[in-house]
Every structure is written in C-alpha cells, then in structure tokens.
C-alpha cells in the first residue's frame, strides 16, 4: 500500500520531529550524567531518567518504523507508546506538584 504525497510529507515531518526530540532527550540525559558521573548507578535509578530513556527509545522506534505502524498499528506498539506517554505525564505531574523549588543534592 502506497501513501499519497501529503501523507508522505507528513510522515517525513513527524519522523524529523521524533528524531529531534529523541536526540534532545538523550543529550539532556548525557549532559546530566556527565555533570556527575561518579554516581552513575544512582543516576539511572530515578524514575525521571528511566521514563525519559523509554520516551527516547519509543520516539526513535517510531521515527524509524513510521510507515509500518501508520497503516496497521499493533496493540503491542499502541500499549508501549501509551505507557511511555503515561510515564512522562506522571513524571511531569510529580515534578510540578512535589519537587518544584527543591535544590537538594541527591
């Protein structure tokens, strides 16, 4: 099944945005790890970092396989994407309600 020209253009832009945001997430995680690499095991134990890694992986997978998933998405792919979105929403809500303004070093 071939996609029409507008669908192909949209797929290209969606792919580009997914790659861009995945790179941004991975760069932010890398920068934070580089700032204090002595606590690498503790660094990866935070849900914030884990949810961001999952989001980056889902974005990268979505960018690399968009034609296959747009025509007939599987229930597994929908579940993984939904879980990644829920993890990021949970991270944002917890940060904004409980952690805003705290400047403690962990």
pLDDT at position 5 over 60? no
Question: What's the pLDDT score for residue 86?
Answer: 97
In 3D space, the residue among 23, 5, 7 whose CA is nearest the CA of residue 63 turns out to be: 23
Residue 73 in domain:
yes
This prediction has a pTM of: 0.78
Q: How many CB atoms lie within 10 A of CB 18?
A: 19
14, part of any domain? yes
Query: What does the pLDDT look like over 32-57, one tens digit per residue?
Result: 999 877 778 888 888 999 999 999 99
CA-nearest of 28, 104, 13 to 62 is 13
Q: Are the C-beta atoms of residues 55 and 82 closer than 8 Å to each other?
A: no
Containing structural domain, residue 79: 5-99
Residue in 55, 32, 57, 52 with CA at minimum distance from that of residue 42 = 32
105 lies in some domain: no
Q: Is residue 106 part of a domain?
A: no
Q: Please answer whether residues 66 and 76 qualify as being in contact, where contact means their C-beta atoms are separated by less than 8 angstroms.
A: no
Provide the number of structural domains found in the chain: 1
Is 104 a member of any domain?
A: no
């Amino acid at each position: 099944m071939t996609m029409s020209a507008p669908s192909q253009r949209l797929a290209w832009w969606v792919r580009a945005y997914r790659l861009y945001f995945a790179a941004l997430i991975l760069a932010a995680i890398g920068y934070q790890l580089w700032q204090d690499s002595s606590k690498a095991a503790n660094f990866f134990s935070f849900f914030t970092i884990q949810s961001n890694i999952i989001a980056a992986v889902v974005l990268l997978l979505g960018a690399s396989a968009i034609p296959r998933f747009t025509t007939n998405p599987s229930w597994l792919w929908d579940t993984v994407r939904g879980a990644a979105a829920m993890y990021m929403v949970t991270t944002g809500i917890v940060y904004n309600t409980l952690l805003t303004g705290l400047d403690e070093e962990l």
